[in-house]
């Protein structure tokens, strides 16, 4: 069980923000935090933050990679070992395009569409790196509910853009 009460979305988003603060500030990425929760048991299955793992890793990607390693499966096969009702919390909308060539986080979430029922987002992705993030629509089209958790946007965007050059 999580110490966070079931359904306290703002508290889960605060935990995501704490994860994001662990990410190193860089001008070429957002500092994002993510938490994957089993809704049935209110258990945190994995946390992640941008650049937590080697490579140009995003927060959601780190969650899934760590969970795949824990279960001894590839990330591609992770859906086969996960509970059927998960929620993903992420400080910033999952990316729909990766300039680095890595698999976008939206596509990683879509691979788990049988388990991830809802994605809670603290802030929509600014258009700094990708002009039009189509991730929200892609997720909704796959039957995944998108919920904006309000109240932390200012803090989230300050943390996300730390290290960026202000023009």
Exactly one of 52, 60, 93, 125 is catalytic; name it.
60
CA distances from 157 to 80, 124, 161 (A): 34, 9, 6
Give the burial string for 133-154 (b: 16+ CB within 10 Å, else e): bebbebbeeeebebeebeebbe
% helix, strand, coil for the chain, step of 5:
30, 20, 50
Non-local CB neighbours of 141 within 8 Å, separated by 6+ positions: none
Q: Is 60 a catalytic residue?
A: yes
- Catalytic residue numbers read 60
């Amino acid at each position: 069980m999580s110490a966070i009460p079931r359904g306290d979305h703002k508290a889960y988003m605060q935990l995501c923000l704490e994860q994001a603060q662990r990410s190193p500030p860089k001008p070429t990425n957002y500092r994002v935090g993510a938490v994957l929760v089993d809704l049935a048991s209110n258990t945190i299955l994995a946390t992640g933050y941008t650049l937590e793992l080697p490579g140009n890793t995003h927060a959601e990607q780190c969650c899934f990679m760590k969970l795949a390693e824990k279960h001894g499966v590839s990330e591609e096969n992770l859906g086969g070992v996960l509970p059927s009702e998960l929620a993903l919390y992420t400080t910033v909308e999952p990316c729909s395009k990766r300039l680095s060539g890595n698999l976008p986080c939206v596509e990683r979430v879509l691979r788990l569409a049988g388990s991830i029922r809802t994605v809670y987002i603290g802030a929509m992705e600014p258009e700094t790196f990708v002009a039009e993030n189509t991730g929200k629509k892609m997720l909704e089209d796959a039957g995944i509910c998108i919920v904006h958790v309000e109240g932390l946007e200012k803090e989230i965007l300050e943390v996300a853009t730390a290290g960026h050059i202000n023009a």
